[in-house]
Amino acid sequence: MTYRLHIIRHAEGTHNLAHDTRILDPELTPLGVSQAQNLCRSFPYKADVGLVIASPLRRTLCTAYEGFRDVLDQRYFPSGSGNGVADGAHFLLDPDVQAHSDRPCDTGSEVRVLEAAFPDLSFGDLDAKWHVKVGVYAGDSESVRRRAEKVRQRLVMQFGQLAEGQGKRRDIVVVTHGGMIGQLLGAPGYRGIDEAGWRSFAVTRDEEGKVILSEFGAKTHPNANHVFNTIHSSMRQWGSSVHHNGMSFFLATVPEGTQFYHGTSTPYPVNGVEWLAFEPEHAMVFARPRGIDHKPGSEGKKSKSRGGRDSLQHPIKGAAGYPPVNAGYLHTYAAAKDLRLLYLDGMAAGKSAIGTLDAQDRILLNDTLVERSERERAEIACGMADGVWEGRIDGVLRMEAGFEIILCHFERDLQVVRITQAKEQRNAKRHPHEDDRSRKAGGPGGPAGPGGPGRGGGRGGGGIGYDWVTAVAARYHDIGGHRVSLDFDNFVTAYAYDLDLFAQDLERPRLTHLSTEELEPIRQDLKNLVMMQGTAEPSSFDWQVVADMIVTRYSDELQNMANGNHSSPSELRQRAERMLGAFIDYSDSDNTKATTDRCADQFIPKRAPTSGLAFQAIRSVSRTICSTFTAALATEDVDATKARFQDLMKYLSWASWKECRGCAYDELCVIPMWPMGTVEDYEHPSCSNTDKGLPGDKSDSYWGSMPHD
């Protein structure tokens, strides 16, 4: 019988950071703690694990305890802590999987020390002399080899006990050390697992009864395709418009000095909570007056910061007197520091009932909305930023037709560059956000008229609305200028949890059918993600560029294999060989697994971190593509092979396959971007020129009516 074993290497310890082997039984660093928390978020087989085995050293113990707190049985945690699960996995401390050497950093603590450090765990079954590196626990190679063999034999027995229990949880996790991992695998030089990383192995016996650990061909994740698209589309207008129901949260950084824009009705600097646009044309939509009774120094009746103080607005030099009735103002600001933001992917600023707000309202805002207004969302989010998040986040980054920031403290985090009067507008159409009864004037997402640019009057080209969408379309594939950086190795996504996100809609993920209790683990992980802000350096590895290389390499080839006019199996075999020729060892051409692995790894740098969800998803997708081409090397059936590639394309669902081809220089490839667009625009994006204008307010509006309670 074959069993599944997951081997985890401990997260970063203080000895790793200091390169100091003299530290006795090192603890985890702050980065190590965040690595363990990321393991908790990203490990995909949580519901299958019945036993977690850990080396009793502190760094492995903490990695296991933190990394599997939503897998282990609740009896291992304080009552009411919210950690642990009913009928969860057993937790076993096994001194045989301790670090292999006798250096201080690989030597454990006495039981009494561990009991003080982990008061909720029982150490009664742990050998009191486990930390003494003599006898069975000696650090010489023969003693370590014998311990590893004992562990392998014991694993088979433990797997059998789990199987006899007739429960669902039949996998085993072992949290150990780099050197011991090689011993367990019978390959002492093995170094294939990063800090807090993991590999899955099939555990079997050969004909002689020897226990064999064989790595599975790929670390698959049940939602690898969706996680891949999340990474590929993040901070990109096109991909986020195609995959508009975002399910993920990223830590984002905007560098000091980056310029932003805010359209409003007054020439006075803003204090408190308000909206910023990345593109001036986006903000210009909101640079309009509120009415003839408007007076300087106010936005509506009163503009308040979240602390309840009146907004202390003062006119910029040169802007005196009452603003003209039919003109607004464009404010230009620069970031006074590096801004720390929480990025919500997809079309998270789109007020629709089709799922664009699900993750924001249900996870981030914890089902607390009453009015379901944008102002309410901003106030709650900024309240969290200053309250439970202890100032670690400066605002929220979202997308509609253009990217916007809800910034919590304009006066603290921005410098005024200039404030200029916009062109007078008569009979200006309003942006749909103005119908939001609790929203102040100003900024992207702020009020600007019913129907918005290009709505209410059919397709009419030119003007602010067209300028807006033209500017936004320039960011279809990148926000540009390194204005935003995301941490792709530490993020929270609903795709990493055992939830049926497609129960209501086979095409789009939704959260509305899930109970608030089912979403609570995601909320807790989101809080942990934010709270690690500032405690460790964010990952600098850019997984998005790896995803780019995969998409650009295979996008056209997959379409050709799926839909091309191929007349014979030999033609398909030749095309597949052209794709794989560089990865085939023709002296061993029947070894298709090796060919697939070489192909799958071609775009992943050797320095890439392998412990996070991003690596798992990207390698899984890459391997799925390569294995499909490998299978085509031996095809004898044209229709069956084309069907496999068609299924693969449906699984991948890349945004690039919706893009228009051949648009002229004066045309845009139109896709719905809230609040504009029709069903036809989404199903069949097409080139549109200035004469046709922008998507109109038709009966088949893609977004439907705006949701309100």
- Residue 156 within any structural domain of the chain: yes
In this model, does residue 236 exceed pLDDT 90? yes
Give the residue carrying structure tokens 């790929």.
218
Q: Which two tokens stand for residue 323?
A: 């603003």
Give the separation between CA 115 and CA 111, rounded to whole angstroms. Answer: 6
**Residues facing 261 on adjacent strands:** 277, 332
Longest CA span, the chain = 94
CB proximity list for 312: less than 8 A, separation 6 or greater: 271, 411
Last residue of a domain, one of 153, 180, 215: 215
Residue with tokens 């050969």: 206
Residues 384 and 510 both lie in one domain: yes
H/E stretch holding 253: strand 248-254
Is residue 632 classed exposed, middle or buried when 0-12, 13-18 and 19+ CB atoms within 10 A define those classes? buried
Give me the DSSP letters along 481-529: TT--EEEEEEEEEGGGSS--TTSS-SSS---TTS-HHHHHHHHHHHHHH
Strands 339-344 and 395-400: parallel
Residues 251, 392 within the same domain: yes
Q: What is the reported pLDDT for 437?
A: 34
User: Minimal CA–CA distance to 8: which of 156, 184, 126?
Assistant: 184
Is the pLDDT reported for residue 452 higher than 50?
no
Q: Is the pLDDT at 573 greater than 80, yes or no?
A: yes
Rounded to whole angstroms, the Cα distance separating 180 from 196 reads 15
Q: Which among 638, 571, 630 is positioned nearest to 597, based on CA atoms?
A: 630
Q: What is the pLDDT of residue 166?
A: 64
Distances (CA, A) of 419 to 284, 317, 335, 415: 12, 9, 15, 11
pTM score, whole prediction? 0.72
pLDDT at 673 over 80: yes
Instruction: Report whether 182 contacts 189 (CB < 8 A).
Output: yes
Q: Which residue has the higher pLDDT, 296 or 227?
A: 227
CA distance 227 to 624: 14
Do 508 and 552 fall within a single domain?
Answer: no
If you average pLDDT over residues 89-105, what whole number do you get?
A: 95
pLDDT value for 263? 95
More confident residue, 503 or 393: 393
CA distance 43 to 7: 12
* 8 Å CB contact between 474 and 454: no
Q: Are 475 and 237 in contact (CB under 8 A)?
A: yes
343 within domain boundaries: yes
Average pLDDT score over residue span 512-533: 90
**Domain region containing 87:** 3-215
pLDDT tens readout for residues 365-392: 999 998 889 999 999 999 999 999 999 9
695 or 440: which carries more pLDDT confidence? 695
- 166 and 75 in a common domain: yes
Residue environment code for 643-667, b if the CB has 16+ CB neighbours within 10 A, otherwise e:
ebbeebbeebebbbebbeeebeeeb
674 is a domain residue? no
From 61, 20, 57, 52, select the one nearest 133 (Cα to Cα): 57
466-522 pLDDT per residue, tens: 788 899 999 999 999 999 999 998 899 999 888 889 886 678 999 999 999 999 989
**Model confidence at 451, in pLDDT bands (50, 70, 90)?**
very low
Supply the pLDDT for residue 132.
95
d(CA 195, CA 181): 12
Domain final position from 166, 182, 215: 215
What is the residue type of 125?
A: D
Mean pLDDT of the chain: 86
* pLDDT for position 199: 86
Over 70: is that where the pLDDT of 315 sits? no
* Mean pLDDT value across residues 130-144: 92
Looking at the structure, tell me whether residues 504 and 572 fall in a common domain. no
Cβ neighbours for 17, distance < 8 A, ≥ 6 positions apart: 29, 31
Spatial distance between the Cα atoms of 615 and 193, rounded to a whole number of angstroms: 12
Are both 165 and 277 inside the same structural domain? no
Residue 410 lies in a domain: yes
Whether the per-residue pLDDT at 704 is higher than 90: the answer is: no
Nearest residue to 126 (alpha-carbon basis) of 115, 138, 140, 141: 115
Give the least confident one: 165-169, 324-328, 366-370, 560-564: 324-328
Average confidence (pLDDT) over 194-198: 88
What domain count does the chain have?
A: 3
Q: How confident is the model at residue 300 (pLDDT cuts 50, 70, 90)?
A: very low
Q: Which of 38-42, 578-582, 645-649 has the lowest mean pLDDT?
A: 38-42
Q: Are residues 527 and 547 in the same domain?
A: no
- The upper half-sphere exposure of residue 503, i.e. CA atoms within 13 Å in the direction of its Cβ, equals 8
pLDDT of residue 296: 28
In degrees, rounded to 5, the angle at the alpha carbon of residue 120 between the alpha carbons of residues 114 and 121 is 55
Helix (H, G, I), strand (E, B) or coil at 173: strand
Stronger pLDDT, 34 or 693, i.e. the higher one: 34
pLDDT above 90 coverage of the chain, percent: 64
DSSP 45-83: TGGGEEEEEE-SSHHHHHHHHHHTTTTBBGGGS-TTSS-
What pLDDT shows up at residue 93? 96
Q: 554 and 458, same structural domain?
A: no
Residue 447 has pLDDT above 50, yes or no: no
317-339 pLDDT per residue, tens: 334 454 455 789 999 999 999 99
Higher pLDDT, 700 or 236: 236
Residue 630 belongs to some domain of the structure: yes
Give helix 543-563 / helix 224-233 axis angle, nearest 10°.
120
Q: Are 283 and 443 in contact (CB under 8 A)?
A: yes
Average pLDDT over residues 69-82: 93
Same domain, 260 and 304: yes
Alpha helices in 532-568 (DSSP H): 543-563
Is 57 found in the same domain as 182? yes
| Type of residue at 320 | A
Strands (E), 408-505: 414-421, 485-493
Band of the pLDDT at 3, cuts 50, 70, 90? Answer: confident
Q: What tokens appear for 86 in the block?
A: 């009913």
pLDDT digits (tens, 9 = 90+) for 611-631: 788 998 999 999 999 999 999
User: For residue 2, what pLDDT is reported?
Assistant: 73
Compute the average pLDDT of residues 92-99.
Answer: 96
Q: Please give the pLDDT value at position 489.
A: 86
Domain with 46 in it: what CATH number?
3.40.50.1240
Q: How far apart are the first and last CA of the chain?
A: 55
pLDDT number for residue 536: 60
Beta bridge partners of 670: 686
Task: With respect to residue 682, please indicate whether it lies within any of the assigned structural domains.
Answer: no
pLDDT over 90 at 305, yes or no: no
606 is a domain residue: yes
Could you say which DSSP state residue 570 is in? Answer: H
176-180, 212-216, 433-437, 452-456: least confident range:
452-456
Mean pLDDT throughout 83-100?
94
Mean pLDDT of the 239-248 span? 98
Cross-strand bridge partners of residue 214: 202
Q: Is residue 486 part of a domain?
A: no
Cβ neighbours of 129 (radius 10 Å): 13
Do 148 and 118 sit in the same domain of this protein? yes
CA 344 distance to own-chain centroid: 9
From 638, 657, 676, give the residue that closes a domain: 657
For residue 551, pLDDT beyond 80: yes
- Taking the C-alpha atoms of residue 64 and residue 36, their distance in angstroms, rounded to an integer, is 8
Q: Is there a single domain that holds both residue 265 and residue 159?
A: no
C-alpha to C-alpha distances, 84 to 80, 114, 520, 626, nearest whole angstrom: 10, 20, 13, 38
